[in-house]
Amino acid sequence: MSPSFIILSRIFLMTKKGAVYRHFWKTLKKKKVSTYALRKNYNISPSILSRMKHNGYITLRTIEDFCRILDCKVEDIVEYLPDKQQNETEKPQP
């Protein structure tokens, strides 16, 4: 991996709003479970893994399945990054 790719990946993660799955990949590594094992042993669709790789949308059912498979909590799978504009509009006006 080139240094510029790593920097761009971090910038994307910092600017991405909504659900991000970076904890999922860390949990997989920690539990020593491969994406191949998820596909073959647990029938996880490659498209789900692709969506997660690109921080796309997945169902709550899928998150529950991952928690069961990996014996972990939701926060070990997904993190929510709030939209800055949304937070500013929700602040009470003086």
Give the pLDDT of the chain (94 residues) as one tens digit per residue. 544 444 444 444 444 568 899 999 999 999 999 999 999 999 999 999 999 999 999 999 999 999 999 999 999 999 988 876 444 444 555 5
pTM: 0.69
Q: Looking at residue 91, what is its pLDDT?
A: 52
Question: Which CATH number is 16-90's, of 3.60.15.10, 1.10.533.10, 1.10.260.40, 3.30.930.10?
Answer: 1.10.260.40
Show Cβ contacts of residue 76 under 8 Å, excluding neighbours closer than 6 positions: 23, 24, 27, 67, 70
Residue type, 72: C
**Contact assessment for residue 25 and residue 48, using Cβ atoms and an 8 Å cutoff:** no
Compute the distance between CA of residue 30 and CA of residue 26 in angstroms, rounded to an integer: 6
